[in-house]
């Protein structure tokens, strides 16, 4: 790291200490956070600007040190600001330290009144944050989450990619890209799956950007929070953030039907109501893209069906079989060069796959993917083998990131 120009925050420290001194000693635990939330509005407007500008300076420092995430506040931070740099989470000793109360005020100063109410009610707040990055002369966005850590307020902020990777650079089979295309298939559901940090949102953004270059369609993005903000080009693109522009994913999906969309992007199918709404809106003739937190294509199908009430499962299974187009399950895998590369499993819904879903035989689908290269399909193990044969990843990495350890060793001839 280079020497920080914000190592000593004298003015900011003064503002924070003056405010914290007003907290009665009799208030402790979560009530201290509530006091700060309810009284932060009393800060002088200029002081609010100073504190927010200080956050922007920290975020600039974060970007220029190639960090992906930053942690501010909370008992676990021990007064330090922490950053994830090249995959490693580290305390940043070069930056000013703050008490738990001071960090809480810094965090709360980023919220509007509705967000403050949501935080106190739900003990958590997903939100986005944008500031102007002077060095590059552009707006930079962060996905953020405020939460409680032993009755103290903490916040994670993750840098959203400044640029979108072209869809072609993700090395999907041409038939897979065709399945994504609204021009080729006007309606149906595509699901991008993977664990947290696997690049699902980046893949969705690449798909949206791909359409924006040639498809005169209306795209509505419903997300929590909105990450990359697309500029309408050939497509008309609208962004709706949960808790800010619309109350829930379900509401956003239902309302989208009255907004003349061609493509609806649902940030995450996280509950039965959202799943049912996504299936229903797809059934009305729209193209829908969404994400799930699962590690394989077949697991994604089982997860969707298991999320709904047992009475509804057969109906959902049949509806899913009718509307599903493709499932992409992906991982970001460390390369030999110390970077990360996309490994993916791709399921294209053929008549055989559709029948397997309807008949509750999802265990058969892995072999269909394994044998479906002519349709653009590939298993995670086959793609890891491809990366290994291209000398992009090590043998150990291929085995470690495989879903099916036995299968990966078979195809790599490891004894």
Question: Per the structure, how many domains does the chain have?
Answer: 2
**For residue range 85-136, what is the model confidence (pLDDT) as tens digits?**
876 899 999 999 999 999 999 999 999 998 999 999 999 998 889 999 988 8
Q: Do 237 and 255 belong to one domain?
A: yes
Q: Residue 43: inside a domain, yes or no? A: yes
The answer on pLDDT for 392 being more than 90 is yes
* Share above pLDDT 90 across residues of the chain, in percent, rounded to a whole number: 82
Q: What is the dihedral of CA 35, 39, 43, 48, to 10 degrees?
A: 70
Q: Do 205 and 123 belong to one domain?
A: no
Q: Residue 112: inside a domain, yes or no? A: yes
Q: Do 303 and 357 belong to one domain?
A: yes
Q: What is the DSSP letter of 333?
A: E
Residue 242 confidence (pLDDT): 87
Q: What is the DSSP string of 266-321?
A: ES---SHHHHHHHHHHHHTT-EEEEEES-SSHHHHHHHHHHHS-GGGHHHHHHHHH
Other Cβ atoms closer than 10 A to 280: 15
The answer on pLDDT for 67 being more than 50 is yes
CATH, residue 40: 3.30.450.90
Q: Where among 139, 159, 179 does a domain terminate? A: 159
Q: Do 366 and 249 belong to one domain?
A: yes
Q: Residue 189: inside a domain, yes or no? A: yes
Q: Do 117 and 191 belong to one domain?
A: no
Q: Residue 396: inside a domain, yes or no? A: yes
pLDDT-based confidence at 3, cuts 50/70/90? very low
Q: Residue 183: inside a domain, yes or no? A: yes
CATH, residue 201: 3.40.50.300
**For residue range 214-261, what is the model confidence (pLDDT) as tens digits?**
999 999 999 988 888 999 999 999 999 988 899 899 999 999 999 999
Q: Do 282 and 399 belong to one domain?
A: yes
Q: Do 231 and 340 belong to one domain?
A: yes
Q: Where among 130, 159, 188 does a domain terminate? A: 159
Q: Do 252 and 125 belong to one domain?
A: no
Q: Do 286 and 338 belong to one domain?
A: yes
Residue 2 confidence (pLDDT): 43
Per the structure, the complete domain to which residue 115 belongs is given by: 10-159
Q: Do 21 and 128 belong to one domain?
A: yes
Q: Do 129 and 171 belong to one domain?
A: no
Q: Do 265 and 301 belong to one domain?
A: yes
Read off the tokens for 82.
């922490």
Q: Residue 3: inside a domain, yes or no? A: no
pLDDT-based confidence at 303, cuts 50/70/90? very high
Question: Strand 236-241 to strand 88-91: parallel, antiparallel, or no bridges (unpaired)?
Answer: unpaired
Q: Are 345 and 330 in contact (CB under 8 A)?
A: yes
**For residue range 286-299, what is the model confidence (pLDDT) as tens digits?**
999 999 999 899 99
E strand residue ranges, 295-339: 324-334
Q: What is the DSSP letter of 186?
A: S
**For residue range 39-65, what is the model confidence (pLDDT) as tens digits?**
999 999 999 999 999 999 999 999 999
């Amino acid at each position: 790291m280079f020497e920080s120009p914000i190592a000593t925050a004298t003015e900011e420290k003064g503002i924070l200490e003056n405010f914290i001194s007003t907290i009665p000693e009799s208030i402790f635990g979560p009530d201290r956070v509530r006091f700060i939330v309810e009284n932060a509005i009393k800060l002088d407007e200029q002081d609010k600007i100073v504190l927010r500008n200080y956050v922007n300076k920290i975020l600039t420092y974060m970007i220029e040190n190639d960090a992906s995430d930053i942690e501010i506040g909370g008992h676990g931070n021990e007064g330090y600001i922490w950053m994830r740099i090249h995959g490693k989470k580290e305390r940043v000793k070069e930056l000013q330290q703050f008490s738990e109360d001071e960090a809480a005020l810094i965090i709360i100063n980023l919220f509007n009144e509705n967000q403050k109410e949501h935080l106190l009610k739900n003990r958590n707040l997903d939100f986005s944050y944008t500031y102007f990055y002077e060095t590059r002369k552009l707006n930079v966005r962060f996905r953020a989450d405020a939460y409680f850590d032993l009755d103290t307020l903490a916040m994670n902020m993750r840098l959203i990619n400044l640029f979108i990777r072209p869809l072609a650079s993700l090395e999907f089979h041409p038939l897979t890209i065709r399945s994504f295309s609204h021009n080729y298939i006007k309606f149906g559901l595509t699901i991008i799956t993977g664990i947290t940090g696997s690049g699902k949102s980046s893949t969705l953004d690449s798909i949206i950007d791909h359409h924006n270059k040639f498809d005169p369609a209306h795209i509505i993005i419903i997300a929590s929070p909105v990450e990359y903000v697309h500029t309408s080009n050939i497509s008309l693109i609208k962004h709706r953030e949960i808790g800010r522009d619309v109350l829930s994913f379900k509401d956003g999906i239902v309302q989208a039907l009255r907004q003349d969309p061609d493509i609806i992007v649902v940030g995450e199918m996280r509950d039965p109501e959202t799943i049912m709404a996504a299936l229903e809106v797809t059934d009305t003739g729209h193209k829908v893209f969404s994400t799930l937190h699962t590690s394989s294509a077949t697991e994604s199908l089982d997860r969707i069906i298991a999320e709904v009430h047992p009475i509804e499962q057969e109906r959902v299974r049949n509806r899913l079989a009718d509307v599903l187009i493709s499932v992409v399950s992906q991982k970001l895998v460390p390369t030999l060069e110390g970077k990360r590369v996309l490994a993916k499993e791709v399921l294209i819904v053929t008549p055989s796959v559709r029948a397997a879903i309807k008949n509750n035989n999802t265990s058969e689908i892995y072999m269909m993917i394994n044998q479906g290269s002519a349709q653009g399909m590939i298993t995670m193990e086959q793609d890891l083998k491809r990366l290994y044969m291209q000398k992009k990843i090590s043998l150990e990495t291929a085995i470690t990131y495989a879903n099916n350890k036995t299968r990966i060793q078979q195809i790599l001839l490891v004894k």
